[in-house]
Amino acid sequence: MKKPSLGRWLPKPRHLAIVPPFVWLALFLLLPFLLVLKISFADLQFGIPPYTPLAQVRDETLSLSLHLRSYALLFTDSLYIATYLNSVKMAAITTVCCALMGYPMAYYIARSRPGVRNVLLLAVILPFWTSLLLRVYAWVGILRNDGLLNSVLLSLGIIDAPLEIYRTDLAVYIGLVYAYLPFFILPLYANLVKLDLRLLEAAYDLGARPWQAFLRVTLPLSLPGVIAGAMLVFIPTVGEYVIPEMLGGADTLMMGRVMWTEFFNNTDWPMAAAVTCAMVTLLLVPLVLFQYSQVRQMEMRGRND
């Protein structure tokens, strides 16, 4: 029988240790998000700020006004729905491309000698030392009709007319895969490098050829790394703004660009806020899945120790 007492509700000293991160998250994540949520339920108006207040006191009456215009538009205007679907599609294709290219790279790095391994890892991380903006500009220089790629291909006589890559979806994919590949490789590498090689020997010993051992032992055991990498690529790609803006055509619909247009070109803050809220909800699902797999993995490891 537990006696109800005040002591139960007072924080214990050891709980105080987690106060700083909570304060940080509340100030810089929760509060801004609540502000955005508030704006998404406002209506447009001329002035500063360019949206109606949520609560007003006039004639001794407190009136709360929740405007659903933005959300209504979001679900009825085909532009927004198409943009969402396209963003998710582009993020998914980027993730698959990163997985197909990143898995062999991570595998090779993990199987290299320790000395070589560090050099290869450095090569993966090295691009981060330059600003993303500069690197994407470099891709503009490479992919433009009169850019590096086309000049080389033309001078070699492989093509007669320049390839139209710049300002197409293909250019966006190239940019996205290029920019996010390291985020896939690093967590997967961390997983693969821990793999007990005796498990592979056991598989060979039991009659598995190397590719069968890969499919039945290495691949299933590296799935947590694949999931972690995929999440790190998928989530930021959905809301990516810089790469589609700089490499994509006018018809490359992505959420980041729509938000930018609503906010800066149309000065429609409530609409931009509604798009943001919808995107956060959309991203919450994979995030929760990611968290779940991480927790499960940690539990497994905990039981193994």
Stretch that binds another protein, among 56-64, 79-87, 184-192, 213-221 (CB under 8 A): 213-221
300 binds another protein (CB under 8 A): yes
Query: 160, 198, 265, 281: which one contacts another protein (CB under 8 A)?
Result: 198
Distance in Å, CB of 85 to another protein, minimum: 35
Number of residues that bind another protein (CB under 8 A): 20
Q: Count of CB atoms within 10 A of residue 295's CB?
A: 10
Query: 221, 246, 280, 282: which one contacts another protein (CB under 8 A)?
Result: 221
Stretch that binds another protein, among 39-47, 118-126, 207-215, 284-292 (CB under 8 A): 207-215
* CB nearer another protein, residue 76 or residue 304: 304
Q: How far apart are CA 259 and CA 70, in angstroms?
A: 13
* CB nearer another protein, residue 129 or residue 211: 211
Taking residues 140 to 179 in sequence order and writing x for each that binds another protein by CB under 8 A, - otherwise, the string is ----------------------------------------
Q: How far apart are CA 31 and CA 216, in angstroms?
A: 47
295 binds another protein (CB under 8 A): no
* Closest listed residue to residue 234, CA positions, set 94, 105, 101: 94
**Running DSSP on this structure, what letter comes out for residue 127?**
G
199 binds another protein (CB under 8 A): yes
Q: Exposed, middle or buried: residue 48 (CB in 10 Å: 0-12, 13-18, 19+)?
A: exposed
Phi/psi for 257 (5° steps) reads: -70, -40
DSSP symbols for 130-183? S-HHHHHHHHHHHHSTTSHHHHHHHHTTS-SS----TTSHHHHHHHHHHHHHHH
Which residues, in sequence order, are CB contacts of 159 under 8 Å at separation 6+?
150, 153
Query: 77, 146, 164, 205: which one contacts another protein (CB under 8 A)?
Result: 205
Stretch that binds another protein, among 83-91, 136-144, 191-199, 228-236 (CB under 8 A): 191-199
Q: How far apart are CA 298 and CA 205, in angstroms?
A: 30
| 203 SS3 class | helix
Stretch that binds another protein, among 177-185, 198-206, 228-236, 280-288 (CB under 8 A): 198-206
Distance in Å, CB of 186 to another protein, minimum: 22
201 binds another protein (CB under 8 A): yes
12 binds another protein (CB under 8 A): no
Residue with tokens 């120790």: 305
Q: Are 90 and 237 in contact (CB under 8 A)?
A: yes
* CB nearer another protein, residue 179 or residue 203: 203
Q: How far apart are CA 181 and CA 229, in angstroms?
A: 9
113 binds another protein (CB under 8 A): no
Query: 65, 212, 267, 291: which one contacts another protein (CB under 8 A)?
Result: 212
Pair type for strands 55-58 and 61-64: antiparallel
298 binds another protein (CB under 8 A): no
| 61 SS3 class | strand
299 binds another protein (CB under 8 A): no
* CB nearer another protein, residue 89 or residue 194: 194
Residues near another protein, by CB under 8 A = 196, 198-199, 201-209, 212, 216-217, 220-221, 300, 303-304
